[in-house]
Structure 1
Amino acid sequence: MRVDLNCDLGEGFGQWTLADDEALLDVVTSANIACGFHAGDPMIIRKACESAAERGVAIGAHVGFRDLAGFGRRELAVSPADLRDETLYQIGALAGFARAAGSSVTYVKPHGALYNSAALDFERADAVASAIDEFAEPLTLMGPPGSQLQRAAEAHGIEFVAEGFADRRYTAAGTLTPRSVPGAVIDDPDVAAAQAVRMVSTGTVESIDGDDVAVAVRSICVHGDTPGSVHTARRVRHALESADVTLGSFT
């Protein structure tokens, strides 16, 4: 078996640092780098791209709503046309820094509220896919398996990579449990590691209600902003490798 291990990075702003990007880049195989809308600034984006390029880690555009104050986790009323243009804008910004670092953007992963809403709303998913379609180079779209994001990618002839989350609980419907629900975020590295191994080896996960849910995935995510994310990422990687899973970017 082979699987990608991804993490959200570059999510600081100015003097404020959110996660230990350097340590995380020593563990993951793909980096979802914030593009300046929900987090990140030009200097942080440059550094994240350079560090990823040095390690041979794949670079992905972590696009989100234009919401620095809410960290992109608030639902915003954005028209499909505006969302398409804002997504393309973010991809282009990251692509410039990736090229300057001797690498390139190879995939797109929505962030936060955009991720959750586009997974359910085809118009929003199609707006994201349309931006990818208009970008000059082929890009992969990452999102939840069986989601509207997958449907939109297939409609546009875009490669889709289904991902699962090591550090988040799932509902019985296969969606992420809202962060407002107690226990929605898994903060125990061993529990997160066990969930990652189960997803990869069986294609299932136990929901927050105890149901078995199908989640066939090609990539596993560990959130960079979760406390102890470096330790969790290391534990997840070790558990996957101990289960004879090969770690490598899908790109």
Structure 2
Amino acid sequence: MHSLPLFVRLAGRPVILVGTGEAADAKRRLLERAGAEIVGEAATAALAIVAVEEPAQAQAVIARLKARGVLVNAVDRPDDCDFTLPAIIDRNPVIVAIGTGGASAGLAAAVRQRLETLLPQTLGPLATALFRWRAAIRLAFPSLEARRRALGAAFAQGGALDPLAAGPDAVEPWLQSPTAQRDQLVHIRLVSDDPDDLTLAQARALALADRIYAAASAPSAVLDRARADAVRILCAGPPVTREPGLSVWLEKL
């Protein structure tokens, strides 16, 4: 992973913007949407966007800002960027960001356009409803593990809170009769080291698993498809006892 994606709250915070023209105007509109206070190069800020076309002038501005410890995004200069600005899908408060590390803004835009057709407008209201019912959800599932398993089952495809199908009105009925994820062990037989060879069901199991059982030789590209907080257990065979939640045993054919 070449970069760590972060969502930064910019409302009321200064961000330096240097440059003129279409590129600078586009960055200005984006910063304004985020509520940032747009300031000039001499101002004090943690972040800066440099949209200067002339190479020597751009490099001079970038050097001055970096010497002050400011993190810089330089338009069309990926090697000079401390951070990049992704293509964005906005389903407020849900935000989906697609980045290529500066390799191709056009590719990121194309992926965004595809995903725009998949993500319904009800996604944002669903998130807002979940936040509104947060206290009741915590009361129904006091432990973090039980809460995560119940929500995982509800968010699954066809579940009561399927993000691609459910609306905000689905939260209260689900709370009245929640369905928790049952304890299970999924056996995944890998046909190759390529994660693209995973079936849809296998990829979904990896993404939802609480723990991953695998040999030390398990391909890292496949393991990266699992949740970052999933427990990784190195072993030569599947577990003998059934653990709570969803477990996955990875085995190569």
Which protein is bigger by CA-based radius of gyration? 2
TM-score when normalising by structure 2: 0.28
**Structure with bigger RCO (C-alpha 8 Å, 6+ apart):** 1
What TM-score, normalized to structure 1?
0.28
